[in-house]
């Protein structure tokens, strides 16, 4: 348009110049003739008229020139304005030729392509900026634009950033109507797409929360008291389908409230902003549930709705009743326990103590009637032999609430008390106080001291004694040596003690460590396995001392040993008694605790799962009552055999007592593998058992806990499994249940 304005201006200037030349020629001709005839006068008059006409035309042309200059100036300003708009536009504005190559592009477009100057786009194909996944689709849409139609599309850019763009292309046509290039605008919509995706995800999240919430959620029209929406938990709890639920009115689910009471309640919620209360709901099948409700008003898209969130607390209320019953039972147990028991609250104030506590600490009737903490504590402290240490330990336990503690307390009168203290915590881990147990173990300690004296005499009597030189060659042996080994003095003198070696010492460095100790400390004590003359291998407890001269050089070695083969056998018997159940022969609680600690450590190292299964037999008492205790014992033995056959080599089966067993599964991949084994256990236990002339059948209730973190010890896992087993007992028996920290 600027070029056209310039051409118009040149034409106007040329026309003015031509007219001026005509006027000037006429004037010159008139002046050259002195006599003016009529024709000349007419010519002159015409000239004057023409001059006036030319002047008017000139004025018109000059005015047109001035208007043209204004138009030209406006066009230039418009072009500059448009150029600035294009260059400063945040969107990419570009042109591509008929071959799909970028012809021009503004600064924003160059930035999108990661270029600095427009010259860098020469020969750049527009499709090169499109990801491979979108390239074919975009090419088809560009073909549509080349055909004369506008084209709109989104695409993902090529490159690691994964930018998303939106483009619009329109065809630019020549004067003949043919498309000569495409003009396009491209906008980065990555952030917009991200926001849209976040909005969708948020909506999905809210929907998921609504759908999967364990609590029931209802939306109610406060005017009609009809349900507008209800989540699956509400439908499931009351036993309705979703469609059935939405056909109900609020009054249909109420066990106690009529419509008038509900209207008043809704009004109260509206006025107060929200309410929490307990109510009773009626299920579809007629069951009545105790529920806890939180309700408030909600404005949703301009519509006011009543929101009710409630949960079934029927079992919770039943549990409260059970807790009261348990407290009564615990109080009874406290009274009949042989231990002196003291219970304090979280602030160390005395809650209760039993008669045994009164008798053990010799509390006066006055102290009992006053029931004051300080005088009772003072009476206890006055009897302790080391009161300051006792008080310090008590204070420490009150400051370290999670600690368990066990110690023996000497009293001034010579008695010795065994004291055990443990925190009283709920299933949620809350600290409620501490329980102290005391027991008079004076007689037991005296018996233990007598046993130690007897054992000392036994260990040091009739022991074998050998003397060697510095080169470890026998110099002398005593008669007990001959009695123990079978070798006479003559048979060993001058020989190396290696002649007694049995080769059973597994550790190759064992003797090296022995000689190292003799070299550094001049003494060593330990157990070794030697061989008698008869070839029998026996264990001996050996003490060796190095005898040195005044210069510190070893001159002799003296060894004192005793045959401890019978002690080893006795240890094995004691181990069997201490660590194995006398009836079934499987590990007892003590060995279970040891293996559980090992299993926890192994699970922490390997990252594999550890499961603790607390198993209680269903129907065992009936077998005992009907068939007798001997039959009950046979039943327990048979069950233990079946369980052992079902377990893997690395698993542990233990009996805690009565009909309670614990199974420890090591090195499992997850819950599924554990459940497969438990299913097999339930099947084999349920098989009939023939005992004498009776065929009996029992089942099992199994509670399962699993190790999840380094702070879970064996006692915690066992307690959790016990709680899970209790859930099974309460909910139908003959199955298993995995401990749930939130609900169990």
The rounded distance, in Å, linking the Cα atoms of 731 and 55 is 118
Domain boundary among 390, 415, 445: 445
CA 496 to chain centre: 64
Q: Is residue 158 part of a domain?
A: yes
Clarify whether residues 339 and 366 are in a common domain.
yes
Q: Find all residues with CB under 8 Å of 547, minimum gap 6, and list them.
A: 554, 555, 556, 557, 558
Q: Containing domain of residue 477, as a range?
A: 462-570
Clarify whether residues 82 and 117 are in a common domain.
no
Clarify whether residues 441 and 536 are in a common domain.
no
Clarify whether residues 490 and 433 are in a common domain.
no
Q: Find all residues with CB under 8 Å of 548, minimum gap 6, and list them.
A: 522, 554, 555
Q: Is residue 494 part of a domain?
A: yes
Q: Which of 224-233, 362-371, 408-417 has the lowest mean pLDDT?
A: 362-371
Give the pLDDT score at 105: 85
CATH of the domain at 346: 3.30.450.20
**Residues 694-698: what's their mean pLDDT?**
90
Clarify whether residues 292 and 359 are in a common domain.
no
Residue 40 has pLDDT above 50, yes or no: no
Q: Which of 307-316, 369-378, 706-715, 718-727 has the lowest mean pLDDT?
A: 706-715
Question: pLDDT of 578-627, one tens digit each?
Answer: 789 989 999 999 999 999 999 998 888 888 899 999 999 999 999 988 88
Strands (E), 513-604: 523-531, 537-548, 554-563
Q: Is residue 156 part of a domain?
A: yes
The rounded distance, in Å, linking the Cα atoms of 367 and 15 is 135
What is the tally of structural domains in the chain?
6
Clarify whether residues 596 and 734 are in a common domain.
yes
Give the pLDDT score at 38: 47
Clarify whether residues 166 and 183 are in a common domain.
yes
Instruction: Report helix, strand or coil for 526.
Output: strand
Neighbours of 525 (CB within 10 A): 12
Burial string for 189-219 (b: 16+ CB within 10 Å, else e) reads eeeebeeeeeeeeeeeeeeeeeeeeebbbbb
Question: pLDDT of 507-542, one tens digit each?
Answer: 778 888 999 999 999 999 998 999 999 999 999 999
Tell me the three-class secondary structure of 350-363, residue by residue.
EEEECHHHHHHCCC
Q: Is residue 457 part of a domain?
A: no
Question: pLDDT of 48-84, one tens digit each?
Answer: 565 566 567 667 766 766 666 665 565 555 555 445 5
Clarify whether residues 510 and 655 are in a common domain.
no
Give the pLDDT score at 64: 63
Clarify whether residues 293 and 430 are in a common domain.
no
Question: pLDDT of 75-132, one tens digit each?
Answer: 555 555 445 555 556 788 888 889 889 888 887 777 777 666 767 777 788 888 888 8
Domain boundary among 514, 535, 570: 570
Clarify whether residues 612 and 720 are in a common domain.
yes
Per-residue confidence band for 241, with pLDDT thresholds at 50, 70 and 90: very high
Clarify whether residues 339 and 376 are in a common domain.
yes
Question: pLDDT of 466-518, one tens digit each?
Answer: 889 999 999 988 888 888 999 998 999 999 999 998 888 767 788 889 999 99
Clarify whether residues 627 and 693 are in a common domain.
yes
The partner residues of 307 in beta bridges, in order of sequence, read 219, 296
Residue 648 has pLDDT above 50, yes or no: yes
Question: pLDDT of 398-423, one tens digit each?
Answer: 999 999 999 999 999 999 999 999 99
Residue 288 has pLDDT above 90, yes or no: yes
The rounded distance, in Å, linking the Cα atoms of 93 and 79 is 16
For residue 619, give the nearest of 686, 680, 691, 564 by alpha carbon: 686
DSSP state of 635: H
For residue 701, give the nearest of 664, 734, 665, 732 by alpha carbon: 734
The rounded distance, in Å, linking the Cα atoms of 512 and 496 is 16
């Amino acid at each position: 348009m600027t070029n056209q304005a310039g051409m118009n201006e040149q034409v106007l200037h040329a026309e003015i110049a031509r007219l001026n030349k005509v006027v000037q020629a006429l004037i010159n001709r008139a002046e050259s003739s002195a006599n003016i005839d009529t024709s000349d006068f007419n010519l002159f008059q015409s000239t004057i008229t023409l001059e006036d006409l030319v002047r008017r035309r000139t004025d018109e042309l000059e005015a047109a020139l001035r208007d043209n200059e204004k138009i030209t100036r406006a066009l230039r300003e418009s072009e500059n304005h448009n150029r600035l708009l294009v260059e400063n536009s945040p969107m990419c504005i570009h042109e591509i030729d008929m071959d799909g190559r970028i012809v021009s592009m503004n600064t924003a477009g160059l930035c999108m392509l990661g270029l600095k100057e427009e010259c860098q786009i020469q020969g750049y194909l527009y499709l090169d900026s499109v990801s491979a996944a979108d390239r074919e689709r975009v090419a088809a849409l560009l073909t549509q634009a080349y055909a004369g139609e506008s084209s709109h599309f989104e695409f993902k850019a090529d490159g690691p950033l994964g930018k998303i763009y939106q483009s619009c292309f329109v065809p630019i046509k020549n004067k003949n109507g043919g498309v000569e290039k495409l003009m396009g605008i491209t906008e980065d919509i990555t952030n917009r797409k991200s926001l849209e995706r976040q909005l969708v995800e948020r909506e999905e999240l809210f929907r998921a929360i609504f759908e999967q919430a364990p609590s029931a959620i209802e939306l109610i029209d406060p005017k009609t008291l009809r349900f507008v929406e209800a989540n699956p938990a509400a439908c499931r709890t009351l036993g309705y389908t979703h469609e059935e639920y939405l056909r109900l009115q609020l009054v249909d689910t109420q066990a106690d409230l009529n419509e008038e009471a509900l209207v008043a309640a809704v009004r109260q919620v509206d006025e107060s902003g929200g309410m929490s209360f307990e109510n009773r709901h009626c299920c579809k099948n007629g069951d009545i549930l105790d529920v806890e409700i939180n309700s408030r008003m909600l404005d949703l898209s301009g519509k006011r709705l009543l929101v009710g969130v409630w949960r079934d607390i029927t079992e919770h209320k039943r549990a409260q009743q059970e807790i009261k019953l348990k407290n009564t039972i615990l109080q009874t147990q406290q009274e009949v326990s042989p231990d002196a028991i003291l219970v304090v609250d979280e602030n160390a104030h005395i809650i209760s103590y039993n008669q045994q506590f009164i008798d053990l600490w010799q509390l006066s009737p006055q102290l009992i009637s006053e029931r004051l903490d300080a005088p009772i504590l003072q009476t206890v402290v006055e009897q302790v032999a080391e009161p300051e240490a006792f008080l310090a330990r008590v204070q420490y336990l009150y400051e370290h609430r999670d600690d368990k503690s066990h110690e023996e307390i000497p009293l001034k009168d010579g008695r010795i008390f065994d004291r055990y203290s443990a925190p009283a915590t709920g299933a949620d881990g809350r600290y409620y106080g501490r329980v102290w147990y005391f027991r008079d173990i004076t007689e037991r300690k005296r018996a233990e001291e007598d046993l130690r004296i007897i054992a000392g005499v036994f260990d040091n009597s009739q022991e074998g004694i050998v003397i060697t030189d510095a080169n470890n060659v026998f110099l002398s042996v005593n008669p007990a040596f001959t009695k123990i080994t079978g070798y006479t003095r003559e048979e060993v003198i001058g020989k190396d003690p290696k002649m007694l070696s049995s080769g059973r010492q597994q550790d190759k460095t064992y003797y090296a460590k022995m000689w190292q100790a003799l070299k550094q400390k001049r003494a060593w004590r330990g157990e070794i396995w030697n061989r008698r003359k008869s070839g029998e291998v026996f264990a001996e407890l050996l003490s060796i001392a190095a005898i040195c001269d005044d210069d510190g050089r070893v001159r002799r070695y003296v060894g004192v040993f005793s045959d401890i083969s019978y002690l080893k056998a006795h240890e094995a018997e004691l181990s069997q008694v201490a660590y194995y159940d006398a009836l079934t022969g499987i590990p007892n609680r003590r060995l279970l605790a040891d293996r559980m600690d090992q299993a926890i450590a192994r699970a922490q190292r390997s990252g594999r799962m550890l499961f603790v299964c607390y198993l209680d037999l269903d129907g065992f008492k009936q077998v005992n009552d009907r068939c007798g205790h001997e039959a009950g014992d046979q039943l327990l033995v048979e069950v233990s055999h079946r369980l052992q056959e079902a377990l893997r080599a690395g698993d542990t089966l233990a009996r805690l007592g009565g009909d309670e067993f614990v199974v420890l599964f090591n090195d499992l991949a997850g819950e599924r593998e554990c459940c497969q084994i438990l299913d097999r256990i339930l099947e084999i236990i349920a098989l009939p058992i023939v005992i004498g002339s009776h065929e009996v059948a029992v089942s099992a209730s199994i509670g399962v806990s699993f190790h999840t973190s380094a702070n879970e010890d064996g006692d915690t896992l066992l307690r959790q499994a016990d709680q899970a087993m209790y859930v099974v007992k309460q909910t139908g028996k003959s199955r298993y249940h995995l401990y749930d920290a939130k609900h169990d």
